[in-house]
Structure formats: C-alpha cells, structure tokens
Amino acid sequence: MSPTAASTACAMPPSIDATKIRRDEPLARHTSMRVGGPADLFCEVESDTELGACLAWARQSGVPIFLLGGGTNLVVGDGGIRGLTLKLGRSFRRADWAVDGDRAEIVVGAATNFKKFVGETLDRGFAGLEFAEGIPGTIGGGVIMNAGAFGGEIGGVVRALRGVDEEGGLRRLGRDELRFSYRHLDLPRGFVVTALELELVRGDPTAMRARAADAREKRGRHQPVGHPNAGSIWKNPSGDFAGRLIDKVGLRGERIGGAQISPHHANFIVNVDGARASDVGALMERTRDLVWAARGVWLEAEVKRVGEWGAP
C-alpha cells in the first residue's frame, strides 16, 4: 500500500462505511482501455450523502480525490492515482420520467449506461438523443465531455444538472449556468454531477429509429471492435478529421508495445496485447509530433490522461 493509502485509510469520516473502502484497487479493471495502475483508496458511493461526506472530508484533509465514471474516454497512468478514487454506484443508475403529452422531463442518474438510456428514449418515442446510439460509458461522463456525433450533442437537451459541490453540499445548476462547447462543459471547481435533468419531445418512431440505425451503422463502420480502447483519441481539428491526418503521415497500424493505432480507424488506439499506459502515451506523443511536423496541425486530445505516468 502506498504511503497515502496507509495514512488515510484510518481517517475516513464515520459516515462512510470503512468496509466499502478498497486499497490499491487496480484501475485497469474499471476502464475500457484496460490499462492503468492502482488507486490508493477506492470507494463506490451509493448516495449524495456518502458522496458529500467523502468530498468534504477530502477537502478538509487535503487528500486528492478523483471521480471515475464509466471508465471510457480516459487512460490511467501506470503509476495509478493517489488519494481517494470515487465511483457512483448502482443507486445512480435510474431514470425517472414525467410525461405530459408530447413533452417529457427526465431525471437520469449520472451512472446510467448511456447506450441503454438512448434505447429507452427510443422505446418511449421521445426524440433528441438518436445521434448517441452506441456511445459507450455513462451519461454523466457524456455530459461532462458534451458527447456528440453526426450533428447532435447531449448539451442540446440538458435542462439542468444536479450534483454535490466540493464542500459536500447539494447543488443544482440551471441551463443558464451551463457553458457547453465542443466536447467540453465548464463546471464549478469540485462539482460532481450526480443527475441530469433532460427535456425531450415526442417524435415519429419510424424516423427516430432510422436516425438511430444510421448512427449505429456509421459508428460500427468506423470504430474498432475486438480490442479494448478508450474511444476517439483526438478531437477533430477545425475543418478536418484527426483520423485522416494520422493516415496521411502513415501511422495507421503503428504499434508500440501492446498498444496499436487501429488499422480500422486511425483515431483509435487499441490494446492488442497487454498494453501499458506508457505504450498508449508514447503512441499519442508520436502521433501528435508527426502530424504537427508534416501537416502543421496540433492535435488536441479528446481522451483524458489521468494519474501518474511513470513506473508504479
């Protein structure tokens, strides 16, 4: 156990069940890329009260805290994550619907599987999220990165966000307080999203399913299958596509260690053979440098690199 884990394990607030705290939890098992070192301390919280107590204790104790969502769109360094890693548990995976004629207001927990929720909106006949068919991870992670595809973004249907601030207090952010941009949402420092308030309108079921099927087909045509990955590695630069630029410098299929730029689509890195985070990082740096040198475009990462990027 790391010094941080040893020094904090006995100091958790009494409102947190100590049996829920896991030490040196391997984070590779919690991420879609299947790489990364351990979390010093790991806790899956089941209520706003538990979450608030953890956040308040961490702030007062000076313990670093990291919130892990569905584990997509990020790569954890081989050195793991210091302090306390929190994950929203099963109680944050529900959706409460209030339907009034052709309008629906939904409060959906941030840990809800994004793909399953899109399926639920299709089954109920409410439009607005068809573009997200097949997007992996949780809907909370989706809103933080303003997930989008094929002309749509989740920010377009969000009415408000509920969550817990760094002091441990409950807070609601209305639409006028939310600043969405391309693959990004500005949030107050330390704010953790626990639920989304969405507003959808009833649509034509045939047209909705056709749009969802089109999104699914396009995603299936471009995204690699069969190997762990973290989704798109790079944001598309203005007026171009990251995958096309990487192709142009001849890096499709390039491999370092157990990580490979996907032969299927060059904007993905796949774990083909027990990759380490350092392999993924080295491929990212090589890609960025070559694209800059050859095309004059500085690629901006869409995937997040977190934790310590050195030897464990």
> In the structure encoding, which two tokens stand for residue 171, read together?
């807070």
Q: What value, to the nearest 5°, has the Cα angle with vertex 249 and ends 243 and 251?
A: 70
232 included as an active-site residue: yes
Of 93, 171, 183, 255, which residue is the catalytic one? 183
Task: Enumerate residues 6+ apart whose C-beta is below 8 A from 32.
Answer: 70, 71, 72, 136, 137, 228, 229, 230, 231
> In the structure encoding, which two tokens stand for residue 242, read together?
């990251």
61 included as an active-site residue: no
Answer for the pair 200, 98: CB distance below 8 angstroms, yes or no: no
Tokens 């099963």 -> residue: 90
The type of residue at 262 is: S
Could you tell me which residues are beta bridge partners of residue 184?
Answer: 181
DSSP, res 275: -
Of 50, 130, 133, 302, which residue is the catalytic one? 302
Of 2, 32, 232, 262, which residue is the catalytic one? 232
302 included as an active-site residue: yes
What distance in Å separates the CA atoms of residue 278 and residue 293, rounded to the nearest whole number? Answer: 22
- Other Cβ atoms less than 10 A from the Cβ of 282: the count is 14
9 to 1, 4, 13, 20: CA distances (angstroms): 10, 8, 10, 11
**Catalytic residue IDs:** 183, 232, 302
